[in-house]
Chain A
């Protein structure tokens, strides 16, 4: 299995016109290029997702959304692609904003906080594949790695909430810590189910299993439950409504972000949208057959021979995966613009008394199911 890293390294080593380079220097170059790629992806993702979110919310709320800042001008007297440049304009505005640090804030931690959060989201992309071999590093513990690294982000939130020296921020940080730690358990438990069935923690193995058998969401009734628990816990993990308690704007002003502005605030923003993508990618890869074509899956079910499988291949795979991710992100937005927010104790109740028992029972039953039916 080749990864982006391997192919990039191979490419560098193949450049015969360059003087011989030590592997260390090549590795630094490769790492730099990949980091730049991930950062570009995250920024582009935020740009597109924010625009998408604004338009989606606008259509759900009977209004128009951004309509003015466009780059495509007029067509037939109407604004064409109006508002498409809005998020770019906002990003530029954000970077130009004054960066304030409260006088009584704990300066080093106040500065460090957003970077930890951002770093965690950033690092998670190392292990997430987008196609056969299209991954920076295909760990043999990929699933576990993502779970571990996303749990680090909460430290960034707590630190920025505490360092702001603002009571609202502190409340946001408190809620966030409680929430993310709680929802990690059902999240991990539902992943465990898939790992048990597929017998591997490696993403490529899980996808391979789904190609050989069937997508996990239709594998058994228990994986359906696991999928639901995973998706909802994922929404909670990404701090989205109805679980956006850490930043609940009607209660805590802006929670842990209250004192942030400009560039640091945009780091929070990038991380939020990145974590949405991480959760959606995880869900799509683990439960929805990743880059496997649904057309091929259906054809196989009816016994159509291999030669008839169209719409597969690397580029189609990217299309299917991104389509699934887009659908999941849309679902999250749909949640956000439909539901009211939960109360902290109801949130905890949902995690510990509903999801966790279900997830645990799920593991037990799926074990039985596999033993008896497989």
Chain B
């Protein structure tokens, strides 16, 4: 069952990311991205990182993807633009590079001695994440929140009306 589901999710990720790259219409590409993001969330579930999976859905699908679609949709010139490059003089060279990269990664995959540990299902990742965010990684957490605050202020400044 688990292998079955995993194969399905992996296939979804690969197929949808292929569609993202090859789509001629930017909105279609953005929609295909939704499949990829959902698939990645599914992969997280297989890693028992359910909290991370839900976070992936709420932030990437519910937030960032909506913003991407929103932006693409409302910019008329983008949505009608042809994205696929047809004139590609470097195609053979790129093919060679990609081939060697693929070969290297595959060999790495097979030659790595994968350590198979005991399958332990953690009780709940939420508590662990919460505790470590507020103790061990407090500084990182605060720095990230300051960064977000700056971004928020910048967005508010940009969207502000002229008359204030």
Instruction: Indicate if A touches B (C-beta under 8 A).
Output: yes
Residues of A within 8 A of B (CB): 22-24, 27, 106, 108-109, 112, 139-141, 144-145, 147-149, 151-152, 154-155, 158-159, 162, 170, 173-174, 177, 181, 184, 201
Within the complex, the shortest CB–CB distance from B112 to chain A, in Å, comes to 29
CA distance A158 to B27 in the complex (A): 11
Give the chain A neighbours of B28 by CB distance below 8 A: 108-109
CA distance A363 to B152 in the complex (A): 20
A24, B69: Cβ atoms closer than 8 Å: no
Q: Which of B63, B73, B124 contacts A162 (CB 8 A)?
A: B73
Stretch at the interface among B53-61, B85-93, B98-106: B53-61
Question: What are 10 A-B pairs with beta-carbon distances under 8 A?
Answer: A24-B4, A139-B50, A140-B126, A141-B126, A145-B54, A151-B63, A151-B66, A152-B57, A173-B73, A181-B62
A141-B51, A141-B54, A151-B58 known, 11 other contacts, Cβ within 8 Å: A27-B1, A139-B50, A140-B50, A140-B124, A141-B126, A144-B51, A144-B55, A152-B61, A154-B62, A158-B69, A162-B69
CA distance A248 to B31 in the complex (A): 26
A155, B73: Cβ atoms closer than 8 Å: no
B46 at the interface (CB under 8 A from A): no
Within the complex, the shortest CB–CB distance from A143 to chain B, in Å, comes to 10
Q: Which of B1, B65, B123 contacts A155 (CB 8 A)?
A: B65
Within the complex, the shortest CB–CB distance from A182 to chain B, in Å, comes to 11
Q: Which of A108, A139, A159 contacts B69 (CB 8 A)?
A: A159
Q: Smallest CB-CB separation from B123: which chain A residue?
A: A140
B63, A109: Cβ atoms closer than 8 Å: no
A24, B1: Cβ atoms closer than 8 Å: yes
Give the chain A neighbours of B55 by CB distance below 8 A: 144, 148
B35-72 near A? 1/0 per residue, CB < 8 Å:
00000000000000011001101100111011001100
B34 at the interface (CB under 8 A from A): yes
The 7 closest A-B pairs by CB, nearest first: A151-B62, A148-B58, A24-B1, A148-B57, A148-B54, A140-B124, A162-B73
B51, A155: Cβ atoms closer than 8 Å: no
Q: Smallest CB-CB separation from B61: which chain A residue?
A: A152
Give the chain A neighbours of B96 by CB distance below 8 A: none
B74 at the interface (CB under 8 A from A): yes
Give the chain B neighbours of A151 by CB distance below 8 A: 57-58, 61-63, 66
Give the chain B neighbours of A201 by CB distance below 8 A: 126
Give the chain A neighbours of B126 by CB distance below 8 A: 140-141, 201
Give the chain B neighbours of A108 by CB distance below 8 A: 28
Give the chain B neighbours of A149 by CB distance below 8 A: 57
Within the complex, the shortest CB–CB distance from A78 to chain B, in Å, comes to 51
B27, A162: Cβ atoms closer than 8 Å: yes
Within the complex, the shortest CB–CB distance from A123 to chain B, in Å, comes to 10
Within the complex, the shortest CB–CB distance from A177 to chain B, in Å, comes to 5
Given A106-B27, A109-B31, A155-B65, A144-B73 contact (CB < 8 Å): no
Interface Cβ pair total, 8 Å cutoff: 73
Give the chain A neighbours of B66 by CB distance below 8 A: 151, 154-155, 158, 177, 181
Which of B31, B124, B126 has its CB near the most chain A CB atoms (within 10 A)?
A: B31
Within the complex, the shortest CB–CB distance from A187 to chain B, in Å, comes to 11
Q: Smallest CB-CB separation from A150: which chain B residue?
A: B62
CA distance A184 to B67 in the complex (A): 14
Give the chain A neighbours of B63 by CB distance below 8 A: 151, 181
CA distance A108 to B54 in the complex (A): 27
B19-34 near A? 1/0 per residue, CB < 8 Å:
0000001011001001
Q: Smallest CB-CB separation from A127: which chain B residue?
A: B54
Within the complex, the shortest CB–CB distance from B106 to chain A, in Å, comes to 29
Q: Smallest CB-CB separation from A27: which chain B residue?
A: B1
Within the complex, the shortest CB–CB distance from A5 to chain B, in Å, comes to 13
CA distance A84 to B13 in the complex (A): 47
CA distance A201 to B129 in the complex (A): 13
CA distance A369 to B74 in the complex (A): 46
CA distance A177 to B70 in the complex (A): 8
Within the complex, the shortest CB–CB distance from B63 to chain A, in Å, comes to 7
A148, B62: Cβ atoms closer than 8 Å: yes
B58, A155: Cβ atoms closer than 8 Å: no
Within the complex, the shortest CB–CB distance from B43 to chain A, in Å, comes to 16
Give the chain A neighbours of B61 by CB distance below 8 A: 148, 151-152, 155
Give the chain A neighbours of B1 by CB distance below 8 A: 22-24, 27
CA distance A314 to B75 in the complex (A): 54
Give the chain B neighbours of A140 by CB distance below 8 A: 50, 123-124, 126
CA distance A159 to B28 in the complex (A): 10
Q: Smallest CB-CB separation from A159: which chain B residue?
A: B31
Give the chain B neighbours of A141 by CB distance below 8 A: 50-51, 54, 126
A158, B70: Cβ atoms closer than 8 Å: yes
Q: Smallest CB-CB separation from A181: which chain B residue?
A: B66
A112, B70: Cβ atoms closer than 8 Å: no
Give the chain A neighbours of B51 by CB distance below 8 A: 141, 144
